[in-house]
Amino acid sequence: MPKFSIVTVSYNAEKTIEDTIHSVQMQEGVELEHILIDGGSRDGTMAIVDRYQNKFAAIISERDKGIYDAMNKGAALAKGEFIGFLNADDYFASSNSLALLASALEKSDAAWGNVLQVDDEGVPKRLISGEWFKPSRMTLGLMPPHPSFYVRTSRVRAVGGFDHSYKIAGDFDLVRRLFRISGFTSCYVSELITIMRVGGVSTDGLTATRTSSAEILRSLTTNGEKIKPFCLNFRYLLRVVELIRGRLLSLSGQRFKPNADAE
């Protein structure tokens, strides 16, 4: 089994960071290390982290240049064969989330699954399926659901990590560069991997949507892709489908709370 490096980026996350830590600790059947990069939190985040100090391979708390700068710091410290990013308001869907990906990664450079957005009570809001993604669809603005995306650490370093000049779409830009590597292999795992609370930087409102679209267009055109901006509108149609799927899941009565499989 490959070793995983889990990088958690946090800032003023005292309400959620413990859920994230617990969900990493409960992973079964894999070898992993947990790295925490904090942006200089002013609340009780680091007091909570200090209680679990022996559970982390590395802890940094200092001001940074944004979330992607923080992620690069984590990637630089990673010693695992594969790396993924589980932010401080996210948590794994079950105790075997990483084990589900590990099998696929034995023959691939990257693997991803599905992500579910929930509210604070664990009520499903949006089911983001990785099934829609193919490398050829990046010109439509599509990418694997980043909270479920795990990739060979050496590949991330080979492309220079994240471009921290991006505010929201730095993950898209990184994935686009990864899939341009000659011989890069990947695999979709049809399983729910990660739970993502609504309200993060990339899920917060119309302004974020506009910024994301502009940055995706920038990433594509900067690197020679010839696209028509209206093609990015396909993402919004797909989002409607994802919201409907989330609504149907909520009507089933299932709840996805931290540190427990679906109720």
What tokens does 146 get? Answer: 């980043």
**The pLDDT of residue 262 is above 90:** no
Q: What is the mean pLDDT of residues 48-69?
A: 97
Give the C-alpha separation, 195 to 198, whole Å.
10
Fold of 3-251: Spore Coat Polysaccharide Biosynthesis Protein SpsA; Chain A (3.90.550)
d(CA 252, CA 259): 20
Q: Taking all residues of the chain, what is their mean pLDDT, rounded to a whole number?
A: 93
Bridge partners (DSSP) listed for residue 9: 37
Element (H, E) at 178: helix 170-178
Q: The tokens 């990864």 sit on which residue?
A: 178
Non-local (6+) Cβ contacts of 168 within 8 A are 201, 202, 208, 211, 212, 215
pLDDT band for position 200 (cuts 50, 70, 90): low
Indicate the range of 18-22, 39-43, 76-80, 138-142 predicted with least confidence: 138-142
End-to-end CA distance of the chain: 29
Q: Are 54 and 125 in contact (CB under 8 A)?
A: no
Domain boundaries, the chain: 3-251
The pLDDT score that the predictor gives to residue 72 is 98
- Among 112, 108, 33, 110, residue whose Cα is nearest residue 74: 33
* Mean pLDDT comparison of 1-5, 36-40, 214-218, 225-229, highest-scoring range: 36-40
pLDDT of 226 strictly over 80: no
At 263 the pLDDT is 43
Read off the pLDDT of residues 21-40 as tens digits, 9 standing for 90 and up.
Answer: 999 999 999 999 999 999 99
